[in-house]
Structure 1
């Protein structure tokens, strides 16, 4: 018994140490403001405050600041950098606190306008059989899988109730152009409704270009419709990723691309890449294809874990580390083209860089907090069901209706946007309130994704240490900070933000 008591005494106590343990020599007479920090490499760490301002400092600087070992006289330049960027304050309540408040409101101002993007899944029909397709496409003759005109009308009514004065109507599929007559009906009706409701409306059609005909072009031009297509790289990559019976998907896409550029203008045409296992082998070739086709932007996008993309693991499943390796290799190629005088930016990095280098919000759905779903985007499926995001619609194609918000013609605006389901999602869509995000230095540059959490981890809240979303974003953001140590690269990054080379 005595030995047991001695043994317990020798165990380390979990009680607080005596107060003398915490008495440190204080050099700086200042107050700490909220900030977070993260190691960038073996030499540097970044400190980020509540509005995304940052300072890059030698390793150990955060500890010195926290322990108040920064002196106004001995560290004058750093001291006043920390003061001016709201990391420390000489008063318990900073004199310019109202400035910080205004900047925080600006960062979150995307919430003021509410939903802008309204996606209409106009048809599930498609003549491609892409192995990574994220929706359950059907063959061309299945007109029962087209959106009815009643659902088109009801969707437009909902869109016109948005408090946002600038709305986008995006047509997706399947292959949207296979339902071109319904697109024409929807565009004309929406244009008329926008005039009546004093809204500015933008139209986008997502298409693989295969059904495009010369007869369609005058209508597309009349309504200034933007075209978004898919380009996965050179022919030997694109044709394998995006299969057609004729084995000519690449040729059809390029022909349609050039035709649309000529008739609609280059500014109205964009392309999107999806990275498969095959793509991982051709990072330079994919970037070079975009340059050869005179694109000024490329989006290095991984496969999403939804729909048919989950059925072919050999072609579509890879570790996040493999994608990040591909991303960095391709990114270096993009930078190399910029160094040689050809302006081309990587879209995902550009969104993050805008959040890092400017005081303004961005409209990209996946990097918002609160999340862009519902707040920025809503999806009307061909069958009238309404989803919180495009990924939520893809999840529904796997018979998981967790993120269904309502039904066109049955659910009111308030039911859809403020109903029980919206409130449930809202509990997990703010990264400031999520464990693992709340104390992350990159919080202000990242977002929240309840749909991805649900799809990959089984619940909307998610678990950050095992999150592919977290793993990808943290490394890309760290990588961008590391690259910005090179002032020549920072200059390139700033040109991406402004949209033109210097």
Structure 2
């Protein structure tokens, strides 16, 4: 719920209220989470909240001073301004400056795997017609440099991009050559199973300082069940690829993420312990998405948001125990949410942006030359629905930005203006994600009270906020460290240990 007092922007005796929203704490209904429009927040008793909005707090009240510091009130309005609030708001939305920084090139749909939860339309390894052609690749690079962002992350995906590695090399080389005059900051990422990684490929990846991202669903029995391939050796090949990539590119150059199926929810400790065994210091506990083959296998592999939250809480407690035991490891989504809660800066994660990060934070160049505002939009297109296709690589960026798809995304992509979201106390920390709502509910605005996206994010924010407020000093330090650069995380972990 939010307050919009009549005097919100006009002088009144004592102090002036600034825009705010509040949420009763699920674990303590006598208290509320109160947030400003810029994402500052405070936990306060409901009686104090009522006194505050009724202008009954005395001028010397420490609580009023705290509310002013968090941009929830202004005292002495004749000598105050909204500049601090606006400055904080600009910091929170700073990711909007410069346009998309993440550019994904889908160089092939071919893949060795037959994963039941696959989000894209994978193709046989011999189906080379599903590889990106040179013409499309060159045009995509032209479009890449039309965007103003000075920091560009170029990620190669598939299918399996190693099956069309020559195109990875060609695109990378062309970008590097173009950048001699453009002088952007470049970061290259290869998202791959790593199963067929060769020394010759690593020579090129090392030369251009690539980072590698792979999938690891947990211990061998679970990974092989989730990600089958001929030979039933998916896990062994993945571990071999991780070891090879680390040896050549460095320990920190290879990251992994897990996709959770119904059987995964039974063993959070085993999944986390597998990552620890392999020396990985970050894990992404990613739920299934409503795209591709995952929709067909949902009765067998799917689960409810409530089940996911039960799993997540159990996994979180095990992660805390692992950290207290001397091994630093964070969960990436918790780190993002905690950075929203505990930091004044916006991290720019596409799914938690408002306005929507689709098209404004990321661009996907598909193998066939079509262009999408997010990977999820590409997945919908693979299912036969091109509602969010921006255009193709032969067109200038200005054409994509004026497309019907982009209009839809902008209309449904401002969380602060969406029904229900506009009154939610967590809205400064959250995002709209219109493509997920379209995929699940058939409407990019979505029905938020029944939205899995909203249930998941509100459930996680409630949990993390409660866990932080009730935590002992060492656990609190660890959670604060998850919201900060990794070096600080390791210092906090040492203190907790």
| TM-score, shorter chain, exceeding 0.5 | yes
Partner-residue secondary structure (3-state), 1:150: helix
| C-alpha deviation, 1:314, in angstroms | 2.8
* 1:95 paired residue number: 80
* 1:436 paired residue number: 420
CA contact (8 A) 1:310 1:316 kept: no
TM-score, normalised to structure 1, is 0.91
| C-alpha deviation, 1:92, in angstroms | 4.5
Partner-residue secondary structure (3-state), 2:32: strand
* 2:478 paired residue number: 492
* Residue 50 of structure 1 pairs with residue 37 of structure 2: yes
CA contact (8 A) 2:196 2:241 kept: no
| C-alpha deviation, 1:50, in angstroms | 1.2
CA contact (8 A) 2:20 2:72 kept: yes
Q: Deviations over 1:200-230 (max 9, x none)?
A: 2111111011121222111110111111000
Distance 1:186 1:362 in 2: 28
The unaligned stretches of length 5 or more in structure 2 are 1-12, 492-497
* Residue 234 of structure 1 pairs with residue 223 of structure 2: no
| C-alpha deviation, 1:452, in angstroms | 0.7
Residues 488 and 265 of structure 1: CA distance in aligned 2, closer, same or farther (over 3 Å): same
Distance 2:467 2:48 in 1: 20
Q: 2:64 aligns with which of 73, 79, 86?
A: 79
Distance 1:78 1:375 in 2: 39
* Residue 469 of structure 1 pairs with residue 458 of structure 2: no
Residues 80 and 138 of structure 1: CA distance in aligned 2, closer, same or farther (over 3 Å): same
Q: Deviations over 1:239-272 (max 9, x none)?
A: 0000012111111101110111111012211101
Q: Deviations over 1:101-121 (max 9, x none)?
A: 111111111111111111111
Larger-Rg structure: 1
| C-alpha deviation, 1:420, in angstroms | 3.3
Distance 1:197 1:335 in 2: 45
102-111 vs 86-95, which deviates more?
A: 86-95
* Residue 284 of structure 1 pairs with residue 269 of structure 2: yes
* Residue 253 of structure 1 pairs with residue 238 of structure 2: yes
Distance 1:277 1:98 in 2: 49
Partner-residue secondary structure (3-state), 2:212: strand
Q: 1:147 aligns with which of 132, 138, 150?
A: 132
Partner-residue secondary structure (3-state), 1:211: coil
Partner-residue secondary structure (3-state), 2:35: strand
| C-alpha deviation, 1:68, in angstroms | 2.9
Partner-residue secondary structure (3-state), 2:246: helix
Partner-residue secondary structure (3-state), 1:36: strand
Residues 80 and 182 of structure 1: CA distance in aligned 2, closer, same or farther (over 3 Å): same
CA contact (8 A) 2:418 2:445 kept: yes
Partner-residue secondary structure (3-state), 1:135: coil
CA contact (8 A) 2:358 2:409 kept: no
Deviant stretches of 4+, over 4 Å: none
* 2:303 paired residue number: 318
CA contact (8 A) 1:386 1:408 kept: yes
* Residue 406 of structure 1 pairs with residue 391 of structure 2: yes
TM-score, normalised to structure 2, is 0.92
* 1:210 paired residue number: 195
Q: How does 1:58-207 map to 2 (within 5 A)?
A: 58-73=45-60, 76-92=61-77, 95-207=80-192
Distance 1:386 1:93 in 2: 52
439-448 vs 414-423, which deviates more?
A: 414-423
Distance 1:113 1:396 in 2: 27
CA contact (8 A) 2:117 2:297 kept: yes
CA contact (8 A) 2:71 2:84 kept: no
The unaligned stretches of length 5 or more in structure 1 are 1-27
Q: How many residues align?
A: 473
Partner-residue secondary structure (3-state), 1:427: helix
* Residue 35 of structure 1 pairs with residue 20 of structure 2: yes
For the aligned residue pairs, the C-alpha RMSD in angstroms reads 1.6
* 1:9 paired residue number: none
Q: Deviations over 1:374-409 (max 9, x none)?
A: 111011110111111000000111101010000122
Distance 2:389 2:253 in 1: 32
* 2:4 paired residue number: none
* 1:267 paired residue number: 252
Partner-residue secondary structure (3-state), 2:126: coil
| C-alpha deviation, 1:96, in angstroms | 4.0
| C-alpha deviation, 1:352, in angstroms | 1.3
